[in-house]
Amino acid sequence: MNLPRPCLLAALAAAAVAARGLSAADLPQSPALSSIVPVADLDGQVKFYLEELEECVQDEAEYRHATNRIDAKAVTKLEKKTHALAVLALAVALHDQPSQFKQAAPGLIKAAQDLAKAADYPSARQGVERAKAALFSTGDSSSLKWMKVAAMAPLMGEVPLIHTRMKRDIRRFDRNIARLAGGSAAIAVIAHGSMPNADETEKPDEVQKWYQYCIEMRDAAAAVNRAVHAKSLDAATEAMAALQKSCDDCHAVFHQDVVVE
């Protein structure tokens, strides 16, 4: 079939992008997740995010207000929570420690991805119910691997929300151990799970740099998690500074124009 020249050029460009993506598809080898965060923290975050999603659809008027996009690039709260849940579920599935939600992980990923596509309140509410039900589903996680299960914009929109809460919680460190452990675990796996999203950045050719910054953010968040479990405020404070630096360094190179509500 002979394509018109503009179509041919577009096809060639698409092929070039695809080829570039294939060469970048070999992600850095993942360390054992137990060396990053304990699975119990991730299990807790799965339950936390399901509660957050349920809150998003409690009131139809509030839902409509929250999803009224003044800017087409705006990322809603529901989208941020659903995409984060998908990555958390993948991490639970791939964790080398036993998780109470390991078998539920495939169903949770699918339910979160479906919920992210909700176009109206009834479908969003129904999607949340399906996500809650997926927690008790049984699936086979053996075929899962680190791959793109969520979009970068909502994931990167969720990170500063978690980080802000952590900065607030560390001021009363002894009272907020559990929340700091959960938040740092969530950021660690979101950072790791964002590696396959290099093609969504403004600089898709800078794949290795994207991997580097994802790993730095992951490792800094993991250091916060370890310090929190050790109940060391000094170590947690130092690791929080490293986490902030990893975010700042990444933004200096990769900046996606996303409106975070």
Sequence ranges of the domains in the chain = 33-134, 152-253
pLDDT at 160 over 70: yes
Q: What share of the chain is helix, strand, coil (3-state, %, to 5)?
A: 70, 0, 30
Q: What is the mean pLDDT of residues 64-75?
A: 66
Average of pLDDT values for 127-139? Answer: 96
Q: For the domain with range 152-253, which CATH number is right: 3.30.750, 1.10.760, 1.20.120, 1.10.3470?
A: 1.20.120
Kindly state the average pLDDT of the residues 238-256. Answer: 90
In the predicted structure, residue 167 carries a pLDDT above the cut 80: yes
Dihedral over alpha carbons 60, 61, 64, 67 (to 10 degrees): -100
Q: Residue 141 and residue 145: Cα distance in Å, rounded? A: 9
Task: Give dist(CA 186, CA 173) in Å, integer.
Answer: 18
* Positive/negative CA dihedral, 214, 135, 161, 114: positive
pTM score of the predicted model: 0.86
Task: Give the chain's radius of gyration (CA, Å).
Answer: 19
| Residue 231: pLDDT over 60 | yes
Instruction: Give me the pLDDT at residue 7, please.
Output: 39
- Please state the rounded mean pLDDT for residues 135-154: 94
Q: Which residue has the higher pLDDT, 17 or 212?
A: 212
The residue written with tokens 């207000």 in the block is 65
Mean pLDDT of the region 91-116: 97
Structure tokens at 142: 């053996």
User: Counting every residue, how long is the chain?
Assistant: 261
Question: Residue range 108-131: average pLDDT?
Answer: 96
